[in-house]
Amino acid sequence: MASLFLVLSSCFTGLASAANLGQWGPTIQFPLVPVAASVNPVSGKLLVWAAFSDDTFAIAKSGMTQTAEYDPATGTVTAATISNTQHDMFCPGIALDFDGRLVVTGGDTAAKTSVRNATSDTWVAAGEMNIPRGYQSTCTTSNGEIFVIGGSWSGGYGGKNGEIFNGTSWSLLPGALVKPMLTNDAQGIFRQDNHGWLFGWKNGSVFQAGPSKNMHWYGTTGQGSVTAAGLRGRDNDAMDATAVMYDAVNGLIFSAGGSSSYQSSSATRNAQIITISDTGVNATVQTINDMWYARAFHNGALLPDGSVFIVGGQTYAVPFSDGNSSLTPELWSPVTTKFTKLATGPTPRNYHSVAILMPNATIFSGGGGLCGSCATNHADGQLFAPPYLFQADGVTPAVRPVIANVSSSTISVGSTFVVTLSSLPATTPSFSLVRMGSVTHTVNTDQRRIAITGVVANGTSYTLSTPSDPGVFLPGYWYAFAMVGGVPSVAAIIKVTL
C-alpha cells in the first residue's frame, strides 16, 4: 500500500508540474517582420525592425529601415521609417552601450553605424566601420567601447578582423584576427565568420564562445589580440545557436543547439556550460543533458531566476523555411541543468526570429521570414508567460512581489542600493539583475545576469551589494527583479555606471 501510494503521489506530482507549461498570450500584429528587437530602457517599449521594406530585403539598395514599437502599457504598435542615417539595418550587429544607446552596425548597408538615443528615441549616424560587414557580431566592453568582428554576409568576403568603436568612430584592431574563429561551413567564408558569440569581460577583453568549436579570448586595446581558449567540449561548430551568460559573477555561459553549417545542415540537441575565469585562461566546458528538440535559428532569453527560455528553431537549418520546426519551447534550469518542455506555440520562429525578456518577466517571441512574397513571413509575435507566473495548477496567476521603489535609478558598479518591497513577503526574497538585451539572428550579446549574494534586510527594505568589476557587472541598463518562492516581480530598471 505504502509503495502504491508513493507511485500514485509521484504521478500526481508529475501531473501537477506538467500542468504548469506557461502560457502564450494573444498574437500581436506588426506592420513588418520583427527581425531585430530591443527594449527601450527609458520608455520600456519594445523596438523591432525589419529592412528597407517590411517584408523583403535587398543588399545595398536603399538606406532606410522600417521599424515599429510595441507599447506594453497600451498594447499599441506604431511604425516609423528611419532614413536620416541612410542605413538599411537588416542583418546587423547590435550592442547597447553604457548609456543605453543602441548601436547598430552594417547589414544591408554594410559600413554604416546608426545610434539610437533611448531618451529622445531618435537615431543619429556615427562613424562608418573601416571594414563593411553583415552578420558580424558586436559586444560592449568593460571600457565602454564596442567590439566588432566577422561579417562576410555583406561588404565583401573574408579578412573581417576586429575593430573598436569609441562612441564616435571605429579603429581597426589588426591583431584581433578573425581567422582563428572561423567555422568549417560548407558555404565557405560567406558563412564562416557569421554571428560570433561575444561576451565583454574583465579589463576590456572579449570572450568568443562560438559558433566555432574553437573558443578564444580577444584583446581590444592597442593593436588587439586573439588567443585560444579551448574547445567547446564535444560540440562541433554550432552556427545559428544560442549562448547566454546566465551567471556573470561565476563566469557561466549556457549554449545549446546549432548546426555545423549555416544551412542545409542538421541541428543538434547539444547543450553545455562554459565557465570562464580570468582573461587568457582556457574555459572549462561541461557537457549537460541534451535539449528535447534539435534546434537551429532558435533564440534563448535569459530569465530573472537564471533559467533560459529556448524558443523556436528547426531540426534542419533552412533559411526562410517553416519546415521541421521545433514548436515546443523548453526551459533550461541552471539548478538541475535539465530541460522542461513548455506550452507548444502556434507559429514557427526560425530564421529571422527574435525572443527577448520584457520588464514584466514575460518573453516576447516573434518574427521569422522577410522573404518577399514567400509564405513564411511572420509579421507578428506573442508574449510568453513562463511557469513562474502561475501557481502549480498552471492557471491561477502567481502572487508576485512588488518593488515599491529603488533608492536610486542610477548606481555605480560595486555600489550598494536599496530595493523596497510594497509588503513583507511570506518567505525571504532573493534578487537578481538582468542586463537589458538586443537580439537578431539568434545573437544577444547584451543580456547577462547577476544573482545578488549580499542582501541585508531591514523590514521591507533590502540593501543589495553589487560586483565591483565592470567586466562582470557591465555598465548600461539592467532589470532589477525581486523573487519570492521563485516568482519574480515586475522589474525596476536601473542604470549602472562606471
Sites of contact with ligand NAG (CB under 6 A):
25, 72, 99, 101, 117, 119-120, 166-169, 171, 203-204, 214, 219, 221, 228, 230-231, 282, 316, 318, 321, 323-324, 360, 362, 383, 385, 389, 404-405, 420, 422, 458-459
Q: Between residues 91 and 383, which has the closer beta carbon with respect to Cu ion?
A: 91
CB of 438 to Cu ion, least distance (A): 15
CB of 3 to ligand NAG, least distance (A): 40
156 binds, among Cu ion, ligand NAG, none (CB under 5 to 8 A by kind): none
484 binds, among Cu ion, ligand NAG, none (CB under 5 to 8 A by kind): none
Separate counts of helices (H) and strands (E) for the chain: 2, 41
3-state secondary structure of 10: helix
CB of 31 to ligand NAG, least distance (A): 18
The CA angle 344-346-347, to the nearest 5 degrees, is 115
Q: Between residues 169 and 497, which has the closer beta carbon with respect to ligand NAG?
A: 169
Asked if residues 433 and 449 have their Cβ atoms less than 8 Å apart, the reply is yes
CB of 126 to Cu ion, least distance (A): 22
CB of 420 to ligand NAG, least distance (A): 4
Asked if residues 113 and 165 have their Cβ atoms less than 8 Å apart, the reply is yes
How does strand 102-105 pair with strand 93-96?
A: antiparallel
Other beta carbons within 10 angstroms of residue 230's beta carbon come to: 16
Q: Between residues 22 and 151, which has the closer beta carbon with respect to Cu ion?
A: 151
3-state secondary structure of 191: helix
Q: Which three cell numbers stand for residue 202?
A: 574583465
Q: How far apart are CA 174 and CA 161, in angstroms?
A: 7
**Kind and range of the H or E element at 163?**
strand 163-165
SS3 breakdown of the chain: % helix, strand, coil, rounded to 5? Answer: 5, 40, 55
Which residue of this chain has its Cβ atom nearest to Cu ion in the complex? 91
CB of 108 to ligand NAG, least distance (A): 25
CB of 90 to ligand NAG, least distance (A): 23
The CA angle 18-21-23, to the nearest 5 degrees, is 155
382 binds, among ligand NAG, Cu ion, none (CB under 5 to 8 A by kind): none
91 binds, among ligand NAG, Cu ion, none (CB under 5 to 8 A by kind): Cu ion
| Cis-peptide into 180, omega within 30 deg | no
415 binds, among Cu ion, ligand NAG, none (CB under 5 to 8 A by kind): none
Q: Between residues 91 and 317, which has the closer beta carbon with respect to Cu ion?
A: 91
Q: How far apart are CA 130 and CA 150, in angstroms?
A: 12
Point out which residues pair with 194 in neighbouring strands.
none
Q: Which three cell numbers stand for residue 433?
A: 539583475
Please list the active-site residues.
Answer: 351
Asked if residues 286 and 272 have their Cβ atoms less than 8 Å apart, the reply is yes
Give the Å distances, CA to CA, from 492 to 87, 89, 101, 449, 496.
33, 30, 19, 15, 13
Q: Between residues 301 and 370, which has the closer beta carbon with respect to Cu ion?
A: 370
Q: Between residues 180 and 334, which has the closer beta carbon with respect to ligand NAG?
A: 180
**Kind and range of the H or E element at 117?**
strand 113-117
CB of 344 to ligand NAG, least distance (A): 18
3-state secondary structure of 146: strand
Q: Which residues bind Cu ion (CB under 5 A)?
A: 91
For cell 550579446, the residue is 445
Asked if residues 420 and 403 have their Cβ atoms less than 8 Å apart, the reply is yes
Q: Between residues 171 and 328, which has the closer beta carbon with respect to ligand NAG?
A: 171
CB of 12 to ligand NAG, least distance (A): 26
Asked if residues 104 and 113 have their Cβ atoms less than 8 Å apart, the reply is yes
Q: How far apart are CA 87 and CA 60, in angstroms?
A: 9
Q: Between residues 82 and 482, which has the closer beta carbon with respect to Cu ion?
A: 82
Q: Between residues 138 and 270, which has the closer beta carbon with respect to Cu ion?
A: 138
Rounded to 10 degrees, the C-alpha dihedral 82/85/87/88 comes to 0
Give the Å distances, CA to CA, from 230 to 8, 136, 183, 196, 420.
47, 22, 15, 16, 44
Which residue of this chain has its Cβ atom nearest to ligand NAG in the complex? 323
385 binds, among ligand NAG, Cu ion, none (CB under 5 to 8 A by kind): ligand NAG
Asked if residues 118 and 156 have their Cβ atoms less than 8 Å apart, the reply is no
